[in-house]
Structure 1
């Protein structure tokens, strides 16, 4: 028996359905984690083919994870007849990522009908220890015609 409310079940189903159709996150091997209104986690096991030349996870991968997590967090507060698209993304790299896996956490700071302000944070996990490697501020636009 599920402990989720009907609203939470609808949100989880919507995000799950969209996530399996997003080619990029599937190509890099990302996995959907916890989902709730305004919050989404995405996990990525370490894949050396996503590293840059110095052996760290490429910054583009970290940025994409933050963007995806923030976008899906925004989608949890979007009306059923709208999708979301990134309109602005500001990233700060805090340290190189080289652990066993990555965790991206998306969170809605300020939901809106047209724009939602979100954060996307990425953590590097090595031997169970999380290190914050990227923080971002993301503006998402709720758009017609992009329903999930």
Structure 2
């Protein structure tokens, strides 16, 4: 799954379902995050750097970095789930490997293994400054497919 091309886009129906779910997330709205790319098994989320998301040294806070990584992985998995289902994180681990600095940070969630119930994703977060990307965090996540809300 992880070797799919970055240029491939999800179907319009899947993109609409992912974006609608993302738009219901209060935390992503509060942080100012947005989805920048939706492909089968891969989602990118961008978070602009601004004082409200930084810690005391001026770096993007680990909580904000982790939150967008978690959402990117969750939505990457969700792109592969059938209509009428939903996604929840079971667990994730993230390593903060460099200060999160730049004009913005970008989280990329990529499905490594899609199962009937559990899906495993790779999480990467890059600091982006003047078009140059630097890896600032990486991790792995397990997600569970659940039945969607009853209509």
By the TM > 0.5 criterion, same fold? yes
**Cα distance per residue 1:35-83 (max 9 Å; x no partner):** 0110111111111111111111110111111000000001001111211
* Gapped regions of structure 1 (runs ≥ 5): none
Partner of 1:101: 104
Instruction: Answer yes or no: is 1:18 the counterpart of 2:21.
Output: yes
Instruction: Answer yes or no: is 1:38 the counterpart of 2:47.
Output: no
Q: Which consecutive segments of 4 or more residues in structure 1 shift more than 2 A?
A: none
Alignment RMSD (CA, Å): 1.6
Are the structure 2 counterparts of residues 88 and 99 from structure 1 closer, same or farther at C-alpha, using a change threshold of 3 Å? same
Q: TM-score, normalised by structure 1?
A: 0.91
How many pairs were matched up? 143
Instruction: Answer yes or no: is 1:142 the counterpart of 2:139.
Output: no
* Gapped regions of structure 2 (runs ≥ 5): 1-7
Please point out which of 60, 66, 69 is paired with 1:66: 69
Q: TM-score, normalised by structure 2?
A: 0.89
